[in-house]
Structure 1
Amino acid sequence: MPLLVTDYSWTQTETMVHVNVPLKGAKVGKVDIISSDEYLKVHYPPFLFEVFLFEPIDNDRSTAKVGNGVAILSLSKRTNQMWEQLMMTSCDKETKKQIRQQALLKHQEKLLSESQSKAEKKRAEDTYLIETMMKLEREEAKKIRKMKDAECERTTAELEAWQPSCNKTEEDENKAKNNVKSSGSRNVELNQRGSTAAKCKKQQVHPPALRRPGNIQVTFTPRVFSTPLRESKVQEEEEWLRKQAEARRILTADAEELKELKDEERNPDWLKDKGDKCFMKGDYLSALNAYSLAIRLNRKMSAVFSNRAACHLKLGNLDKAIEDSSQALDLLTPHVAANAEARARAHVRRGAAFCELQLYVEGLWDYEAALKIYPDDESLQSDAQKIRGIIQGAAAAAPDKQ
């Protein structure tokens, strides 16, 4: 069942009506807009915005623009007068059904005509392209034919000039052959003897000896990740390992502040462990301070940002919890098996902060992202279902309030 959009806004002049519909994170390619003179529909799953207009409009002169998270619909009025409201309220279900069906039929006819015009335009372009190619091929064939004719004429002239010298050369070769015949008969017997000796020598050749057996040493590259190696994931795994190595060696605190700290307090890993212990005891302020100092020393540790988000969530600092969770998710890229659990925790913490701020749609996105990582987690499934119930309840209550 689609969720009805109620947080839209509209303005009007004597000639135009402007309607702004928030897209709630939907991509431009997934927004479906259908309009007619009496009906308007904007569908981006799972949300639906449907209007049976108060007065007829000129649909051919109306426009729709989608971008920057909002759909802007500019409707041209048929009569220059101000509307009392955007939607009809006195229309019954049967009339609405007929208006909706007529709008869908007109939309299908419009799509069909656009498709036919595009097909005709493509056929015309293809015909022009084929004719142009055939013309170029005829010109190229004509050019090649001229080159062949010129080459034949040149070759014929050379043959005619070369014929007299060729006759003289043949006479000289015949005389030389007659002189060679007499000496050639004496060499035939010698050549036969040589070939017989070569055959005997070939029969005495032995095949090469077998190679000695041996062992080939094979070594395997050690794996850092527990999952099997896949070529499609090699680049992402290498980038993740590079970020982890960079996180362990980058220190961003000022030199003067480092001198005032103890040796163990200069270690971000020690500060993280201290923050974890304070968090387990319920001392969230001390844990927050430990995590903040660790972040000042090293801003590349995703776990510290995620844990500090949990502290902010406990202390009611919801905006800061969202900010730290988002920073942790940025550091947890690329997505590999080694950081799957950390990504799920960050999504849940950010989703919980969104829900505390009553931004249930954004919170549901984070819980669904965590479910993609752990689809069988019953706790995540239960929480996501509760949020869906809240969203659907709010959507159902909104028309009653109007």
Structure 2
Amino acid sequence: MPITVKDYSWDETESTVHVTVPLKGVKPNKADIFSTDEYLKVNYPPYLFEVVLYQTVDDAKSTAQVGGGAVVFSLHKKEPGVWSRLTSTQSDDKELMKSKRQQAIEVAHKRAKREQEEKAKAKREQERYTLQQQMKIEGEEKRRIEETKEAERRKATEDLENWNESKLNEQQATTADVTQPPKDPSCIFNNDDGDLPEVKNSQSGTSTVSTQRNEDDLPPAPRLRGNIAVTFTPRVFPTPMRESKAAEEEEWLRKQAEARKPVDIDDPDLTEEEKNPQWLKEKGDGFFKSGNFLAAVNAYNMAARLNGKLPSVYSNRAACHLKLRNFMKCIEDGSKALELLTPPVPANAMSRVRCHIRRGTAFCELELYAEGLQDYEAALKLDPKNEKLKADADRIRQVVQGTLPELD
């Protein structure tokens, strides 16, 4: 049975009430303080202070300070006036005290739930704002890169046009020099009929008409055209029929198709891109590659809230948590991704390998080497030719067997 505290003191003004409860040598961190608009409680075993107030107060404006061996309540009255007493006139009624205590607990729970919801909402808004800002920065950087590329493209085009123009001028100048009449009088022909001049062959003495052009001046012959018929087999997976599991493969394809279906969400605060989980996942991948793991987690969080059936979202978020050293969250996301990567088929084998490695690494970081070894051995069964994976598994096995110090 707790000992009821009765040696408390209090005073009041028109608008406030001050209550001082002695702690009787108990450490301040052992005191459990609870208050509502009409109920006060300080529990510091074996002592208990509990009162139902004479009138209601504004709990949001009221405070409780612990120090100097006492708890001091500063309560703001909802209606100004003098109470003349602290406790309710029905404080001796045990049933009333019990009901007031229960009401106070319910009110406190509702308030805590409301505060938690508001805090979660504020956190989501902050994550959304952060993600939008990151996307805005990335968009501006992308536009800057495109403008730079366009400027380089225009410059290259201008240089090519200038080069073509200079080559054309050189060709015209060469043509003009060739068509000029010869300066040697012996090569001048009288040709009043306007026919082509005859050129005397030095060996045979016969005259031929110069009608041939330089082969370099002729355009290249056109390329031959043709069609190549390409046919594909109707199978999606490349494995032979004797090795494949057609039913499992079809089920995996069906699950992937369902996961990629667009989600209809009526939220005016989200843009059309932000309603696309695949787009958010790709944004998260970009943030991860740039080293911005917190922004990547925010993008993956929004993608998971829109569509919780994409295993790559959980697998990639596990990689982010591993970088941020949130090992328990990494294990949770890795396990969720492995649940979605079913049935096991060759198409998702490497994804399962990555999930096992990430989860196994998180287990080892938590010094749970036996669990980590199980994941590494599972990954090694899927990728037996991976020498680095084999070496890591051997090291963990030695740690489990006690033949090697714990991993750094």
- TM-score, normalised with respect to structure 2: 0.41
- Higher-RCO chain (CA-CA 8 Å, sequence separation at least 6): 1
Higher helix share: 1
